[in-house]
Structure 1
Amino acid sequence: MKISESKEWKQLTSHLLEDIQGIKVGELNDLKSRFEDFSYEFDDLLIDFSKQKVTSKTRELLLSLAEAANLKSSIAALSEGKPINTTENRPALHTACRLPASVELVVDQIDINLAVQEEISKIDKMVEKLSNGHWRGYSGKPIRDIVNLGVGGSDLGPLLVCEALDEFKVDYPNNIRVHFASTMDGSQISDIFNTLNPETTVFVLVSKSFSTIDTLSNAASAKAWLMSNCPNEALVDKQHFIGVSVSAEKMGEWGIHPDNQLRLWDWVGGRYSLWSSVGLTIAIKLGMENFKLLLSGAHSIDKHFFETELSQNLPVLMGLIGVWNSNFLGVPAQAILPYDARLKYLPNYLMQLEMESNGKSVTQGGESIDYDSCPVLWGEVGPNAQHAFYQMMHQGTRKVTSDFIAPIRRFSKEDSEHGKSLQEQHLLTLANCFAQSRALMTGGSLDELASNSSEKKQFPNPHKFYPGDQTSTTILIPELNPYTLGQLIALYEHKVFVMATIWGINPFDQWGVELGKIMANETLSELKNAASTEKFDNGTNTLINLVKEGIGKNGKGSNS
């Protein structure tokens, strides 16, 4: 039975019509106990749901829906390594990658954590070898630059963490830097060739299957660049490439030396993989101590998710409210709004995490669903977003729910004028964060605000009127550091799992990604064939033939 046919789903529908419809979220916030009733804390992490359109009854009915969807048993299956990725018949054990070394996790009579700790040890040795200058390039010079070649989860996760925690980077004597290239068009990798020294650069090829065309095309260009300076291929392969993949065989065939191969497992999805060997660039930039703090922060949320009652469980509540917004309030979109520029890549990361995981239209059993699954996610650093798409959120016609994310402390208190100025800037950022969530909720008239008088009541100028009633959640962390960032990312991972469980879908496969890849290979073959093509639809055939005729280069599309 689909969840939409359950009595709990129908009770929520009735509750919406009888108790919620017609009420504005600002009216709910008039209650003095509202924040106390709808905010939750765990380990200094605070989540405020008071600006969501939920009541105590809504929460109670959503928890009943979770029981009807067997959420408790699904959480247990995730934690125990059961094969919950049903279309690929394997577990989803990214949480195992952040287990403490002393913890056992036995799956099919094998302690998974032994293999995890072995890879962490190999990462540690690589980081040590690089940091002390013992890893040298083909000319004998110490390595100074590490380039991560990946795409999707093999790029977005490490990129997010490295950028967000830049101030925690290790000050190496040989000034090691990390870089990222993911686009198959060659623009990023060519910029790297123009700025780095081939004698002192190592490329990390990250591909779970080691067949991702985006990554391998960049890797081939990197090898060609290196060999144009050093024609000894064996030396280039050994000194300038590291591989991260499930397939040791494919890494070896490509040329990755066995000593430079790091292992992945098929039970770690790409978008969940930054905790594994995929996080090598994180460990290099931040050092092993900070990398382990990142894992520790995520593990703390794992324990909370696996062990805490549903009614006090932060990822569970986030997920249930997400379902409420999507399926009952009819909110089709969610904005991710970090009020800290260090988290500029968090919206992109969460876009992949949520939409690749939950962008599904069939249940685990293959039955078509008759309700919306994943909302459309997008976002931007909050202060930038205020000057971009907030206009639509404040005065447009579409409903959007938002997550406002901010650290309470940004800069250490200093007596200097510089320190005081930075403190003021952070307070300004927090003021905007809190004010924008309030403005989205309450709405109002600019004319009335400008009058500075609560007595003055006038018909609002429609151009200066804000309807309000846009919901949001506010997430506060004490400060942004490796531990709290680990918590934040794991929080969203588990929220996604909760929503998937309610909807009855599998969040751990991504078959929708594959069709375009297959068609791209077919299209590439036709583009390389000099003859005119009629193999595809009319529009695609015409585009391919235009390229073959040189439009944009020497034809009528040229600017030259």
Structure 2
Amino acid sequence: MKNINPTELKAWKRLQKNFDNDKRTLKTRFFEDPDRFNKYHIKWDGLLFDFSKNHIGSETFALFKELLNEANVREAIQMQQGGAKINATENRAVLHTALRNMSGDPITVDGEDVMPGIRDSWAKLAAFSNEIRSGAWKGHTGKRITDVVNIGIGGSDLGPRMVINALRPFVTDEMNFHFVANVDGADLHEVLRKVHPETTLFIIASKTFTTQETMKNANSAKQWFLNNGGAESSVAKHFVAVSTNAEGVAGFGIDTKNMFGFWDWVGGRYSVWSAIGLPVILAIGFQGFQEFLSGAHAMDKHVATEDWDKNIPAQMAMLGIWYRNFHGAASHAILPYDQYMDRFAAYFQQGDMESNGKYVDRNG
């Protein structure tokens, strides 16, 4: 990926002049163009993206399209989705889009198609979730699982928690879902008050299985289980792992057959699409999870192929640059009115800030 500094491009300098010369208010813009809403909204797959209520006009959008083209953004998107190692600091691909690639097309990293491994992961997750949801999986006293406790932090918590809340109408009534992220023991304590050791499944979500906060809570949960009728030999019936550290998982007492891994090209903030989404799969079923992946895949195709005029992520990126780099706005409010989406702001804050919170660019 080319190391392009957008502020040095011709289109950026023209945008600066445009910003300096156009100080019209939003009221004035609507007065001058009563048809503004019809020009500045996009309908896509049941979604309405209305960007007419922003301090921006047609000339500015035209300049932004020039900027996207001059910066080779289309090429960069294709490189990212194609498996190029665009994470230069770690020499890694950034390939969460492969996790939701429902097209069947191959995606290659280091000469190897990653899709067979992803499909194997789907099959393993589907089989496990079907066993739990059907009641075939029994706890150590022969009772079915009624409660699932996800222990993780950051991307191992925010994504699954948000999605289960958002899709609450589709969540099974057969199980309750709980999340523990805070290293303060009160978080785990309050969850354990609501569940029974004979019917609880713990998901320990830590790629390295060494994350300090997660492992402290995991060990506390295990001790609670042992103190309340469980035995070391029964741990594997009540604990599973999302990790790549087989030795650590086995040492904890979890059967590595119930260890679900993922790849180093999956960033934490995008990991809900991977095995980290196991709580989601248990909540809505694997078929529901595939529909979730399909929706994301449709958006991946949209951003990669749609013209900039009708490209929702591109329009959002333009507005983000316009407000942050030209207007100097340092804050971005995300206000979900839908109660089911009440965890979206926390989830997206991580997704956005981990990308935009960097202060060192690719040139150092």
TM-score range, shorter chain: over 0.9
Aligned-partner Cα distance in 2 for 1:131–1:43: 31
1:223 is aligned to 222
Taking the aligned partners of 2:296 and 2:120, their CA distance within structure 1 comes to 19
TM-score, length-scaled by structure 2: 0.95
Distance 1:331 1:128 in 2: 48
Q: 1:132 aligns with which of 128, 131, 134?
A: 134
Residue 128 (structure 1) shift:
1.1
How many angstroms apart in 2 are the aligned matches of 1:178 and 1:158? 10
Quick check: 283-292 or 214-223, which moved more? 283-292
1:187 maps to amino acid: A
2:176 aligned with 1:190 = no
Displacement of 1:286 in angstroms is: 1.1
Distance, in Å, in 1 between the alignment partners of 2:178 and 2:353 is 26
Work out whether 1:24 is the aligned partner of 2:22: no
Rounded Cα–Cα distance in structure 2 between residues aligned with 1:47 and 1:168: 25
Question: Is the Cα–Cα contact under 8 Å of residues 65 and 308 in structure 2 kept in the other structure?
Answer: yes
The equivalences for 1:63-78 within 5 A come to: 63-78=65-80
Q: Does 1:113 align with 2:115?
A: yes
Does the Cα contact within 8 Å between 1:146 and 1:177 map onto a contact in 2? yes
Cα distance between partner residues in 2 of 1:74 and 1:127: 36
Residue segments in structure 2 that go unaligned for 5+ positions in a row: none
For residues 272-311 of structure 1, the C-alpha deviation after alignment (integer angstroms, 9 at most, x for no partner) is 0111111111111111221111111111000111112233
Query: Would you say 1:317 and 2:319 are equivalent positions?
Result: no
Amino acid of the structure 2 residue aligned with 1:27: T
Percent identical residues: 38
Indicate yes or no: 2:274 matched with 1:273: no
> Do the aligned residues in 2 keep the contact of 1:246 with 1:266 (CA within 8 Å)?
no
Q: How does 1:285-304 map to 2 (within 5 A)?
A: 285-304=283-302
Could you say if the C-alpha distance between residues 204 and 101 of structure 1 is closer, same or farther in structure 2, counting changes exceeding 3 Å? farther
Residue type of the alignment partner of 2:110: D
One-letter amino acid matched to 2:209:
F
Aligned position for 1:123: 125
Map of 2:10 onto structure 1 = 7
Task: Tell me the distance in 2 between the aligned counterparts of 1:222 and 1:139.
Answer: 18
Aligned to 1:363: 361
Q: Distance in 1 between matches of 2:344 and 2:30?
A: 29
Aligned to 2:341: 343
Alpha-carbon distance, 1:170 to partner: 2.2
Counterpart-to-counterpart distance in 2, 1:200 and 1:216: 21
Task: Name the residue aligned to 1:232.
Answer: 231
Work out the CA distance in 1 between the residues paired with 2:206 and 2:27.
47
Contact residue 101 and residue 117 of structure 1 kept, 8 A: no
CA distance in 2, matches of 1:232, 1:170: 29
Match of 1:247 among 245, 248, 255: 245
The number of residues matched between the two structures is 360
Aligned to 1:203, the other structure's residue is in SS state strand
Query: 2: distance between equivalents of 1:116 and 1:264?
Result: 9
1:202-224 deviation line (CA, Å, top 9, x unaligned): 10011122221111110000110
Aligned-partner Cα distance in 2 for 1:234–1:259? 15
Matches within 5 A, 1:35-74: 35-74=37-76
Offset at residue 3 of structure 1 (A): 2.2
Q: Which runs of 4+ in 1 moved over 3 A?
A: none
Provide closer, same or farther for how the CA distance between residues 6 and 101 of structure 1 changes in structure 2, counting only shifts above 3 A: closer
Q: Is the 8 A contact 1:104 1:112 kept in 2?
A: yes
Q: What is the SS of the residue equivalent to 2:27? A: helix
CA shift for structure 1 position 176: 1.7
CA distance in 2, matches of 1:252, 1:169: 31
- The answer to whether structure 1 residue 95 and structure 2 residue 94 are counterparts is no
Supply the AA of the counterpart residue of 1:14.
Answer: K
2: CA distance, partners of 1:118 / 1:260: 14
CA distance in 2, matches of 1:222, 1:196: 11
Aligned with 1:139: secondary structure? coil
Cα distance change of structure 1 residues 103 and 7 upon mapping to structure 2, 3 Å threshold: closer
Q: Which one-letter code corresponds to 1:180 in the other structure? A: F
Q: Is residue 326 from structure 1 mapped to residue 328 from structure 2 by the alignment?
A: no
Q: Deviations over 1:37-96 (max 9, x none)?
A: 111122222211111111111001111122232211111111101001111111011111
2:53 corresponds to which letter in structure 1?
Answer: K
Counterparts of 1:354 and 1:92, CA distance in 2: 15
Q: What does 1:136-155 correspond to in 2, within 5 Å?
A: 136-155=138-157
Pairwise CA distance, 1:112: 1.0
SS of the residue aligned with 1:338? coil
Structure 1 CA distance for aligned equivalents of residues 200 and 7 of structure 2: 54
SS of alignment partner, residue 241 of structure 2 = strand
Residues 237-290 of structure 1: CA deviation (Å, up to 9, x unaligned): x11111102333332333321111001111111110111111111111111221
Asked whether the equivalents of residues 205 and 219 of structure 1 are also in contact (C-alpha less than 8 Å), the reply is yes
On the 8 A contact 1:145/1:179 being kept in 2, the answer is yes
Q: State the distance in 2 between where 1:304 and 1:93 align.
A: 16
Using the TM superposition, give the Cα deviation of residue 232 of structure 1 relative to its aligned residue in structure 2, in angstroms.
Answer: 2.7
Aligned residue number for residue 171 of structure 2: 169
Structure 1 residues 332 and 189, CA gap change in structure 2 (3 angstroms) = same
Distance 1:178 1:299 in 2: 26
Distance in 2 (alpha carbons) for counterparts of 1:32 and 1:192: 53
Greater mean alpha carbon deviation, residues 240-249 or residues 142-151:
240-249
Give the 3-state SS of the residue equivalent to 1:339 in structure 2: coil
Q: 3-state DSSP class of the match of 1:327?
A: helix
- The 2-side partners of 1:98 and 1:249 are apart by 29
Deviation at 1:106, TM superposition (A): 2.6
TM-score of the superposed pair, with normalisation by structure 1: 0.63
How far residue 231 of structure 1 moved from its aligned partner, in angstroms, is 5.5
Instruction: Give the secondary-structure state (helix, strand or coil) at the position aligned to 2:359.
Output: coil
Q: What amino acid sits opposite 1:99 in the alignment? A: N
Amino acid at match of 2:36: R
Distance 2:115 2:243 in 1: 18
Corresponding residue SS for 2:280: helix
Provide the C-alpha distance between the structure 1 equivalents of 2:294 and 2:109, rounded to a whole number of angstroms. 22
Retained in 1: the 8 A contact 2:207–2:261?
A: no
Amino acid at match of 2:19: L
Which residue pairs with 1:525 in the alignment? none
Instruction: State the distance in 1 between where 2:91 and 2:246 align.
Output: 22
The C-alpha deviation readout for 1:411-430, integer Å capped at 9, x for no partner, is: xxxxxxxxxxxxxxxxxxxx
Contact 2:93 2:109 in 1 (8 A): no
Distance in 2, Cα, partners of 1:208 & 1:25: 48
- 1:17 maps to amino acid: D
1:251 and 1:291 mapped to 2: Cα distance?
25
Q: Distance in 1 between matches of 2:354 and 2:253?
A: 31
1:299 aligned counterpart, secondary structure: helix
